[in-house]
A and B are shown apart, each in its own frame.
Chain A
Amino acid sequence: MKHRAIKEKLMFYMEDSLLAKEKQEIAEHLSHCDECQQLLESLRKDLALLNFEKYTENDPYFYTRLKARMEVPAQPASRRLWQPALFGALLLLAISLGTVVGKQFSVEQGSDDGLTSELVPFDGLQEEPIEQFLLTFE
């Protein structure tokens, strides 16, 4: 096996899930390839971290908190809702401002020359797709 093929098998070598023959080949390669040695070491370190934290004992208050939550009628998680709501409000405010500015702009233009019809009117129609976007996001 070449270096590249070995590299792809290090995860499985580490787990000891390879056939004896492959295992031996890789062990031999490792004895003289620094890069593969380092990769193996890093994989080992990283995967060992995965089982680092685990609860090992029941939390005696878990049931109490659960019951408390079940007795309260479903409450919206306020922290999670206010941001989209505020964002929506700000966006609508910005659109309204834009509408006002846009209207003034088109009126001024219109009084000057005959190009009014070519300017896209900045009216309520523009708001609709954005409002819908927010609704589907909720």
Chain B
Amino acid sequence: MNELALIRAIQNGDEQAFKQLVDRYQLLVRNTCLNFVHDKHDAEDLAQEVFIEVFRSASKFRGESKLSTWIYRITVNKSLNFQRDNKRRSFFQSIGDALFGSEKMLGVSTVSAEGQPEQDLENKERKEQIYRAIEELPERQKIAFRLSKLDDLSYQEIAEIMQLSLSSVESLIHRAKLNLQKKLYQCYKKGI
């Protein structure tokens, strides 16, 4: 089934078509979600929300862009909303944690690699450091950078997803890299 036929079938409530779409795009969505939120449980929740949104707004897909572009756009929007909610939530969480102790102590999973344990800790710290540095970038730089570096998308694809010109995307990513470099240099200086 081609993209448009698939999405039309979903619009008509064809469950098999929806399953086909989920199977076709779940890697894309799950990986992008993970790139944005870094926590496997949250990313899983978010990926489900993305597909629910795809299902609900199937009729809005006009076939003007590739289906993957449209799904990316929904994924990015959902991820950003999630992060905004999360920031508000963590304000309350920190108060809750202060009053009742932290849930995180119980080993609520964060993304972590299995394997060589001695390298794990250092890598984990470095990874947190770089995620934090990315997190601190201005929003559009952050999105463009992630889609480019983590999702391996071309600048053209990113331009379509973000609905920007190619040159804006180039400039966003260039600035993102400069900023990231600067932030990382600051970390190295502090000896982190």
Contacts and interface: CB of A to CB of B under 8 A. Distances in A.
Interface of A: 7-8, 10-12, 38-39, 42-43, 45-47, 49-59, 62-63, 65-66, 69-70, 80, 83-84, 86-87, 137
Given A46-B130, A59-B30, A66 B181 contact: no
A60 B44 CA distance: 13
A100 B127 CA distance: 51
Nearest to A66: B48
Interface stretch (B63-71, B73-81, B90-98): B90-98
B111 A87 contact: no
By DSSP majority rule, is chain A's interface helix, strand, loop, or mixed?
A: helix
B52 A66 contact: yes
Given A50-B150, A65-B48, 7 more contacts: A11-B180, A43-B181, A46-B126, A47-B149, A55-B31, A69-B48, A83-B95
B184 A53 contact: no
Contact of B126 (A8, A10, A39, A49): A49
30 contacts: A10-B181, A11-B177, A11-B178, A11-B180, A39-B185, A43-B181, A46-B126, A46-B129, A49-B126, A49-B127, A49-B130, A50-B150, A51-B149, A52-B113, A53-B111, A54-B31, A55-B34, A58-B23, A58-B27, A62-B47, A65-B48, A66-B51, A66-B52, A69-B48, A70-B52, A80-B89, A83-B93, A84-B92, A87-B92, A137-B88
A62 B34 contact: no
Interface string B92-124: 110110000000000000010100000000010
Interface string B45-59: 001100110010000
Contacts of B55: 70
Contacts of B180: 11
B185 A55 contact: no
Contact of B130 (A47, A66, A69): A47
Contacts of B88: 137
Given A50-B150, A53-B111, A87-B95, A58 B26 contact: yes
Nearest to B150: A50
A63 B184 contact: no
